[in-house]
Amino acid sequence: VQLQASGGGLVRPGGSLRLSCAASGFALDGYAIGWFRQAPGKEREGIACSTIDDLRTIYGDSVKGRFSVSRARINNTVSLQMNSLTTGDTAVYYCAAGGDCFYFDGNSILRETRYQGQGTQVTVSS
C-alpha cells in the first residue's frame, strides 16, 4: 500500500505546475484526499481537500482561486493544478487519504488520515 506525490520542480513566479498523487495497493475511491504543504521553519498548511464523493473541494485561504483538485479514477490518481505561483508557495507538498474534509482557521483539514505519501518539492523562484 503506497501513496506518492510527484510532479514537483522549479518554476518561475506566475507559472503553473501540476502535481499528481498516485495510489498503489488500494483505490482512492472511498477516501477523501487532502493536500498539504510544509515550508522550512513553517507549520504544516492544509491547502486542499476533496471529499469522498468528489462533490466538493475545500481550499485553504492562501490558494483559493489559484489551485484546483481533480480526480482521475481510471488512473487511481488525484491531481493538484497550481496556477499563478508565488515564492510563498515554495514548500514540500504531500497528499493523504482519509475520512472527511473540513475548513478551519484558513486551512483545509483532512480528518482521520489513513495513508500519507512522500512529498514532492516545489520551488518557485526567478
pLDDT of residue 30: 87
pLDDT of residue 82: 98
Per-residue pLDDT of the chain (126 residues; tens, 9 = 90+): 889 999 999 999 999 999 999 999 999 988 999 999 999 999 999 999 999 887 899 999 999 999 999 998 889 999 999 999 999 999 999 999 999 999 999 999 999 999 998 999 999 999
- Compute how many other C-beta atoms are within 10 angstroms of the C-beta atom of residue 67: 22
With contact defined as beta carbons under 8 Å apart, do 5 and 18 qualify? no
pLDDT of residue 8: 97
The cell numbers describing 63, all together, are: 490558494
> How far is Cα 120 from Cα 21, in angstroms, rounded to an integer?
10
* C-alpha distances out from residue 37 to 7, 20, 33, 85, 112, Å: 14, 14, 14, 14, 18
Hey, is 105 helix, strand or coil? coil
110, β-bridge pairs: 101
Question: Can you give 27-49 as a three-state secondary structure string?
Answer: CCCCCEEEEEEECCCCCCEEEEE
With contact defined as beta carbons under 8 Å apart, do 46 and 60 qualify? yes
